[in-house]
Structure 1
């Protein structure tokens, strides 16, 4: 692989924004890719994938390069040189890379790889927490799985098509896919490509959604004609799946505290042909109280640490702080207590997170069941999905029933 100066410099600039300015990797990359209209798809994928790769392995690469945050421009080039050596990429003969100690880099990599927190590139506190919550063996396996690049999975929109038909349509647009076993509506891309530019996407034939994320709406056991409330809808990936499972019959009320996310959901619903979705912004608790005892089904896709989706959001492990976890645990408990009241007697509710930590998952549910509100509920079943076992995102979901 021959490195092009403008692509390397664009990557260095992106890393400076992510590491030193604390900006989100996906937003920075999106902006960076618009910098030069002459870049082709290969150039863009080099910038995106190299940036994500270096973000993923920040701690390991910085230790090998012997640099500390905040990183100077010179430090970032040293980190980039480490990436080159470990990825087998020929180091360019540019002044920035002069005197790169190739043998020392390889030696330090071998030495640091014996220690998990360096080998898997995580902060000390997170490594300790993972061991405490999951045990050495599972945490080690899970970290390794979460450090691999996430596959791109599509969910065929059953309001408009089905997986076999969609696969054929995408093939005509030059995109090859594989069916995903045991996931009825999922197709996995054989090679990464920008599916958002396809006509199939514009026509609302699919959404990009991780295979395990597709399990959540199915778990809620919805039927056409029901009244369903998606309480933390965000931009609506699971809302749209619920609409498809309900065949556009009945009503879905999508709630969120962020109005801009709900605007995006409206756009997506229109494209998907989902007509039974109504959005409501949670501006005050009145919005929730008006819905008490009114829904057949409630989905709580709770805010969480996001540790199950590190393979697609590698910068989350550097942004996450212990205080945030304490705060999110309290928020989850409050949400469960408040939003569970939306459910009718005899109705069912799913509490789900994209975390792998028991403190955010089964322990949170057990705690809820002991509260006054929780005493009305019984746990029907729960699903703990590890990335190391499934090959997709880590998830937790619990199905609870409000007793009549």
Structure 2
């Protein structure tokens, strides 16, 4: 493989923004890919995959390159040289690579790979937390899996098409997919491709949504005609899934504290042909109180550490701080306490997170059930999904029912 100067410069610029300006990797990569219209899919793939790979293994590559944060551009080129050397890519005779100790890099890699915090490239405190909550064996497998590149999974929009027709449509656009057993609405891309440019996407035939995430709407047990509240809707991936399960019948109230996210949901709903969603910004306690005792179903897709989705957001492990975890647990408890009041007697609620930590998951549910707010609820079932067991994102979901 030959390195092209303009593509490498794009990677370095992206890493500078992510590591030194604290920008989000997915946003930075999107900006980089728009930089030059002449770049083909291979060029764009190189930029995206290289940026994510170096972000994923920042601690390991920085240690091998013997550089410390904040990284200046020379430091970033050294880390890039480590990445390229470990990939077996011949370094061109550019000034940035003049002093690269190629032989030492491989030896250093072998040496550091004996220690998990370097091998899997994670902060000490996250490693300690993972061991404490999941145990040594499960955590070792989980964090290794969280460094694998995630598959691209589509969710078929059954309001507009079915799995077979979507497969044929994508095939006509040179995109091959395969069915995933036990995931009724999911298709997996056999090779990565930009699905957002397809006619099928523009026509609202599918959304990109991980297989684990697709289980949440199913878990809520909705029926057409119900009044359903999605209390932390965000940009609405699960809201849209609920709408298709309800066959566009009944009412979904999609709520979030961020109006900007609900605006994105509005655009997505239009493309999906969904028209039973009402959007509500949570700008005070009023919108919640108005719905006390009204919801047949309530989804609380709670804010969390995101430690189940590091494969998709590798920069999150560098942005996370121990105090954030403690604060988010308080938020989860408050959200459960306040939002659960929207469920009517006999109604059901699902509490979900994209975390693998029991302290954010089953511990929160147990705490809620023994609280004043949770005394009218009973535990029905839950599902704990670890990435190393499922092959998909780490997730948790618990279904609770309110007494009649």
Common topology (TM > 0.5): yes
**In 1, distance between residues paired with 2:394 and 2:325?**
17
**In 2, distance between residues paired with 1:280 and 1:72?**
44
State the secondary structure of the residue aligned to 1:37.
Answer: coil
**In 1, distance between residues paired with 2:108 and 2:355?**
32
Task: Give the structure 1 partner of residue 325 of structure 2.
Answer: 325
Task: Give me the TM-score of the superposition, normalised by structure 2.
Answer: 0.99
> C-alpha deviations, 1:277-322, integer Å up to 9, x for none?
1100111100100000000000000000001000010000000000
**In 2, distance between residues paired with 1:222 and 1:128?**
39
State the secondary structure of the residue aligned to 1:298.
Answer: strand
**In 1, distance between residues paired with 2:60 and 2:181?**
35
> C-alpha deviations, 1:338-368, integer Å up to 9, x for none?
0000000000000000000001000000000
State the secondary structure of the residue aligned to 2:212.
Answer: coil
- Measured after TM superposition, the shift of residue 103 of structure 1 is 1.2
Mapping for residues 282-293 of structure 1, pairs under 5 Å: 282-293=282-293
Task: Give the structure 2 partner of residue 117 of structure 1.
Answer: 117
**In 2, distance between residues paired with 1:350 and 1:245?**
16
Corresponding position: 1:386 with 2:386: yes
Task: Give the structure 2 partner of residue 221 of structure 1.
Answer: 221
- Measured after TM superposition, the shift of residue 99 of structure 1 is 2.5
> C-alpha deviations, 1:221-242, integer Å up to 9, x for none?
0000000000000000000000
Mapping for residues 179-194 of structure 1, pairs under 5 Å: 179-194=179-194
Corresponding position: 1:48 with 2:48: yes
Mapping for residues 160-309 of structure 1, pairs under 5 Å: 160-309=160-309
State the secondary structure of the residue aligned to 1:44.
Answer: helix
**In 2, distance between residues paired with 1:273 and 1:193?**
24
- Measured after TM superposition, the shift of residue 41 of structure 1 is 1.2
RMSD: 0.5
Task: Give the structure 1 partner of residue 340 of structure 2.
Answer: 340
State the secondary structure of the residue aligned to 2:270.
Answer: helix
- Measured after TM superposition, the shift of residue 39 of structure 1 is 1.0
Task: Give the structure 2 partner of residue 146 of structure 1.
Answer: 146
Deviation >6 Å, runs of 4+: none
- Measured after TM superposition, the shift of residue 181 of structure 1 is 1.0
Structure 2: where are the runs of 5+ without partners?
Answer: none
- Measured after TM superposition, the shift of residue 36 of structure 1 is 1.2
Corresponding position: 1:99 with 2:131: no
Structure 1: where are the runs of 5+ without partners?
Answer: none
**In 2, distance between residues paired with 1:87 and 1:188?**
27
**In 2, distance between residues paired with 1:320 and 1:88?**
32
Mapping for residues 19-34 of structure 1, pairs under 5 Å: 19-34=19-34
**In 1, distance between residues paired with 2:33 and 2:149?**
19
- Measured after TM superposition, the shift of residue 190 of structure 1 is 0.8
State the secondary structure of the residue aligned to 2:234.
Answer: coil
Count matched residues.
404
State the secondary structure of the residue aligned to 1:254.
Answer: strand
**In 2, distance between residues paired with 1:80 and 1:119?**
17
State the secondary structure of the residue aligned to 1:110.
Answer: helix
- Measured after TM superposition, the shift of residue 92 of structure 1 is 1.3
**In 2, distance between residues paired with 1:89 and 1:400?**
53
